[in-house]
Structure 1
Amino acid sequence: MKIKNILTLLLFLTSISFFAQNGKIDEKREKIKAFKVSFLTTELELTSTEAEKFWPIYNAYDDKQFELRHLKMKTYLKKLNDDNFKNLSEKEAVTLLSQIESTDKELYQLREKFMSNIKKVLSAKKILLLKKSEDDFSRKLLQQYRDKANKD
């Protein structure tokens, strides 16, 4: 068995056990994350040394990004639904806008920190490949979602 296949399997199993310990992450998120780990491992062709350093940095970044994008922004967007939006005062709107801007800044700073850390682990070419692979993964996931919706 090739080292790449062994590494992919090992990372997949490790990610599953990690997610099983965290009761807050729902089943769909676990499946998507495991699929993403497998996809990125294959696309990036990480050496075992690179993988050992890459995955802890990437997972911490990905988890924090998820928290900021989905949990915080979800709270903000609930306030913007039609019923709540109509009753939103100007003061509340200013506060909400400030919170959204703050979260955007946090996301930007998180990405900067991640890039700084990952440059110590991967070559510039692999970092670009990571960006491309993340975009490819998102498109693939969206396509699977669309395909499933069309079947139902």
Structure 2
Amino acid sequence: MVLTAQGPARDRIKTLKVAYITEQLGLTPTEAQSFWPVYNAHEEQLERIRKKEREKFVGVQTDMSVITDEQANDMVNSFVFLQQQKHEIEEKFIKDLRTVISNKKIILLFRAENNFKKRLLQEYRNKRGQR
């Protein structure tokens, strides 16, 4: 999940996410003690990749006529490289998770993350609609 909120809002979202995932997975205290360091390390690694993506692609000119073929090639290569890094991070994450929680709870984690994102997006849309 991309947490684009800043400061207290980001902390609030993170706290809600931790509570939601803990509840949805039904983590025992022992599991939680092993799970959260693995999960947090994974999130930090993904955030570093997301930061590189933002630096590389967000500021890109939308007018493709000013980008040379060489620049476009470099951008595509960077994109592929970052996607490969994400894939490697995900593989390691699954491998590490399997040492601390069951495969069923890993599936529940994926569901919980997706549901949390949906709920967060819906809440954002509702608040935006009230303005």
What amino acid is aligned across from residue 111 of structure 1 in structure 2?
E
Residue of structure 1 aligned with 2:104, choices 109, 118, 125: 125
Cα-to-partner distance string for 1:30-61 (whole Å, 9 max, x where unaligned): 22211111111111110011000000000010
Q: How does 1:47-58 map to 2 (within 5 A)?
A: 47-58=28-39
TM-score (norm 2): 0.89
| 1:97 positional shift | 0.7
What amino acid is aligned across from residue 59 of structure 1 in structure 2?
N
Q: How does 1:101-120 map to 2 (within 5 A)?
A: 101-120=80-99
What amino acid is aligned across from residue 97 of structure 1 in structure 2?
V
Aligned length, in residue pairs: 126
Residue of structure 2 aligned with 1:82, choices 62, 71, 86: 62
Distance 1:82 1:93 in 2: 12
TM-score (norm 1): 0.78
Unaligned runs of 5+ in 1: 1-24
Aligned counterpart, 1:135: 114
By relative contact order (CA 8 Å, sep 6+), the higher-ranking structure is 2
What amino acid is aligned across from residue 48 of structure 1 in structure 2?
P
What amino acid is aligned across from residue 115 of structure 2 in structure 1?
D
What amino acid is aligned across from residue 51 of structure 1 in structure 2?
A
> Aligned pair 1:26/2:32, yes or no?
no
Distance change (3 Å), C-alpha of 1:37 and 1:151: same
Distance 2:123 2:61 in 1: 28
Unaligned runs of 5+ in 2: none
Aligned counterpart, 1:41: 22
Cα-to-partner distance string for 1:117-149 (whole Å, 9 max, x where unaligned): 000111111111011101100100110110011
| 1:79 positional shift | 4.3
